[in-house]
Amino acid sequence: MPTAADPGPRPRLKAPPKSCECHSHIYGPLDKYPYAEGHGRSLHPDASVTEYRAILDNLGIERAVIVQPSAYGTDNSRTLDAMRELGSDNARGIAVCRTDVSREELAALHEAGMRGFRFTRQGNDVTMDDLSTVMPRIAPFGWHVQVQENGEDAADWLPRIQDLPVPVVVDHIGRMPKNMDLNDPRFVAFLKLLEGGNMWVKISGPYYGSATGAPYLDVIPRIRKLAEVRPDRLVWGLNWPHPQFAADGKPVPAPCLDILLEAFPESPEIRQAILADNPAKLYDFPA
């Protein structure tokens, strides 16, 4: 597991200025930030800002988006404090709130740097069943909805995000199944929605869709296909600290970034868009 003292090997890709890592979580210390009741699952209970900053520095990444993890339910305290520690010019956040969240609370979260509302799969505090309730509340702030669902079931959930009145950001390349063919109807529908809808895609968690493991080369055809359709709607994320992995088996950060070099070796303009230009727009970073 990379630490502040040893954040792992340096990547081969040299990140452009103002690059952003768009999907990671901060946990603990648990005596100060206890998990919400019924949300005790985590294979790495402490994942500190100090460790995370060391990883970003090693990767050459200046900006970050901290995503509220499900372990903390609708208490955004750990995420908000992490954003403050990272600095207001370089950090944004994605919140999880109650469905009856007030305008005043949303305004305070927006002022603190939150720019989206996270919806996750069944079993969490706020799911896609709550979309219609939450969207009118967040739309005045220019927020997007962030969705994580199982790509196996894409035929069921893609239609639900097709005509939303706010932008939609889909995590982890849609978590499409391993060995999925590019002509699979679910992936074709995913591409069609990216092309003509209001959808963004995070190139993050490549291990979810990889049958071969690091350096995840079998996922590259999907990434290239997404970029053929809408290179202006892609952002990159690390998904640190990879909470579904045991501490002694977590992915190394560098290959998760170098996948962009493997996918676009002769296209620095696409890497520039994914790492810097697109997240600056989506997360409202200062120029």
* pLDDT tens for each residue of 164-221: 999 999 999 999 999 999 999 999 999 999 999 899 999 999 999 999 999 999 999 9
Give the total residue count for the chain: 287
Does residue 7 belong to any structural domain of this protein? no
Residue 254 amino acid letter: A
45 pLDDT exceeds 80? Answer: no
Domain of residue 135 covers 20-282
Q: Within a domain: residue 94?
A: yes
* H/E stretch holding 203: strand 199-203
Q: What is the mean pLDDT of residues 249-264?
A: 95
Cα separation of 224 and 238, whole Å?
18
- Report the distance separating Cα 259 and Cα 216, nearest Å: 7
Question: Does the residue 235 lie in any domain?
Answer: yes
Question: What is the number of alpha carbons within 13 Å of residue 27 lying toward its C-beta?
Answer: 23
Q: Residue 146 sits in a domain of what CATH number?
A: 3.20.20.140
pLDDT above 70 (res 2):
no
Q: Which of 251, 250, 247, 253 is nearest to 45 (CA)?
A: 247
Q: Which tokens belong to 240?
A: 């640190």
pTM of the predicted protein model: 0.95
Round to the nearest angstrom and report the end-to-end CA distance of the chain. Answer: 34
Residue type, 140: P
Is there a domain that residue 10 lies in? no
Question: Does residue 92 contact residue 24 with C-beta atoms inside 8 Å?
Answer: no
* Choice among 52-56, 131-135, 255-259 with the minimum mean pLDDT: 131-135
Q: Phi/psi zone of residue 285: left (φ > 0), alpha (ψ -120 to 50 degrees), beta?
A: beta
Strand pairing of 114-119 and 168-170? unpaired
Q: Which two tokens stand for residue 235?
A: 């952002």
Residue 269 covered by a domain: yes
Helix (H, G, I), strand (E, B) or coil at 178: coil
What is the separation of C-alpha 241 from the centre of its chain, rounded to a whole number of angstroms? 12
6 located within any domain: no
277 belongs to a structural domain: yes
Which value, in Å, is the radius of gyration of the alpha carbons in the chain? 18
Give the separation between CA 65 and CA 44, rounded to whole angstroms: 19
Q: What is the mean pLDDT of residues 41-59?
A: 86
Per the structure, the count of domains in the chain is: 1
Mean pLDDT over the full length of the chain: 93
Q: Give the DSSP H or E segment for 107.
A: helix 103-112
Residue 9 maps to a domain: no
Query: Helices (H), strands (E): how many in the chain?
Result: 10, 8
